[in-house]
Amino acid sequence: MSSARGAARRTAAGTGLAVRLLLLGSIWSPVEAQLTGVLDDCLCDIESIDDFNTYKIFPKIQKLQGRDYFRYYKVNLKRPCPFWADDGHCSIRDCHVEPCPESKVPIGIKAGSSNKYSKRANNSKELEDCEQANKLGAINSTLSNQSKEAFIDWARYDDSQDHFCELDDERSPDAQYVDLLLNPERYTGYKGPSAWRVWNSIYEENCFKPRSVYRPLNPLAPSRGEDDGESFYTWLEGLCLEKRVFYKLISGLHVSINLHLCANYLLEETWGKPRWGHNVKEFIHRFDPIETKGEGPRRLKNLYFLYLIELRALSKVAPYFERSFVDLYTGNVQEDAESKRDLKDLFRDTKSFPMHFDEKSMFAGDKKGAKSLKEEFRLHFKNISRIMDCVGCDKCRLWGKLQTQGLGTALKILFSEKEIQNLPENSPSKGFQLTRQEIVALINAFGRLSTSIKELQNFKLLLQRTR
């Protein structure tokens, strides 16, 4: 009798989901109607981004992410949370990150530039110089002594005022290389109060928002009657461009991560063999305009806005990598040459995009006010990068830190235009620099955004088939 009731419940649940899918299939057209046209605060339309990403960017960024230079990321997953007592690390199996054995890391990445500085360090000053040189992973072995000295001087330059992220100390014994291809971002089961506290802290304390303004769907918000979040958007539209951009970047990052989880979800496990794939029900829960009270399409637009910001950064930083002496050094001559060729090929496409975001519209007021606002912007984002050390799931922490650092690197690039324009052709410059950690984060973070937009198209197709 109980088994019959259980079967009936399962049948009803399955029927309910089928009906829900049919309903979403019928309303997806209105959602697409909302998720179309020109984005706010820029002059680009969503359809152009979809086509450009599908046919130009996605295949090339996927290829780059498979290259040795970009697949190994050094990260410290043991840094304590600086804001509250740790909740303890997630014990779910899929939260685990498998570090890469030292023997598997390409020698040129592992050794940094040490093989190019053969002079023995005989005192602390030379040792410091050697350690600084080791951090630079994009140096051609044919550099002159003068250029080598310039690199060491460059590394000594404290550019912390330009960093939008709290960078891990790669020399820490807790920092380990991770093979990103063997530790993909996907749904791990990490959720609940710990995960919610991280995002709540990001939005409530770091997005220039007063406590009296409540985000839509915030469980702590008091009942707002028929408001449905409109007061929040009235407040948001009243902000200056820079603060609106900040919120949209964070929202876009959140959306992108949610899309990755929906697209790479543990669907079932048979005899210890997991099957990962698209979870349409989870996608509905997170983005359906009915379930999210219209928030889904609004948030998805922020994903496109974030994509434009990082696309613009890649087009702006191209001259840094196009200089002849800058290599993506791993120690494998052929691999390194192909990696740089692929990267320059990607840059050609990013520069060809006709509707880039105009970052010059930001921080364009009086110099003193603009400088103060930019510093506030930078410090708020840096704080968010520190919050990533409060994520309890190691895999979520890994990808959260990487994608936050990638966005931080993009912002650093966008607001270093003069320094990039004045880069010397044949020698390093202390005015602008990128560490290998920043380079790897930049490419992989943009790769995640490209994948998100591609997966959004996949979900559209899946939903259309349910009509």
| Contact criterion met (CB below 8 Å) for 60 and 352 | no
Residues 6+ apart with CB under 8 A from 232: 213, 214, 215, 216
CA atoms of 467 and 463, how far apart (whole Å): 7
CA atoms of 439 and 445, how far apart (whole Å): 10
Single out the catalytic residue among 90, 165, 207, 393: 393
154 known ligand binder: no
Q: How many helices (H) and strands (E) does the chain have?
A: 17, 4
Three-state DSSP state, 249: helix
186 known ligand binder: yes
CA 204: distance to chain centroid? 20
Which H or E run includes 64? helix 58-65
Q: Whose CA is closest to 381, among 461, 306, 458?
A: 306
CA 299: distance to chain centroid? 16
79 known ligand binder: no
Tallying the residues shown for the chain, one arrives at 467
For residue 262, indicate whether it is catalytic.
Answer: no
Q: Tell how strand 265-270 and strand 273-277 pair up.
A: antiparallel
| Residue found by looking up tokens 């959720």 in the block | 191
Alpha-helix residue ranges (DSSP H) falling in 323-358: 333-352
For residue 81, indicate whether it is catalytic.
Answer: no
Tokens representing residue 258 in the block: 């949610």
| Residue found by looking up tokens 């030292």 in the block | 102
Burial of 8 from C-beta contacts in 10 A (0-12 / 13-18 / 19+): exposed
199 known ligand binder: yes
CA atoms of 57 and 419, how far apart (whole Å): 27
Residues annotated as catalytic (active site), given as ranges? 393, 396
Residues of each annotated binding site for FAD:
186, 188, 199, 251, 254, 286
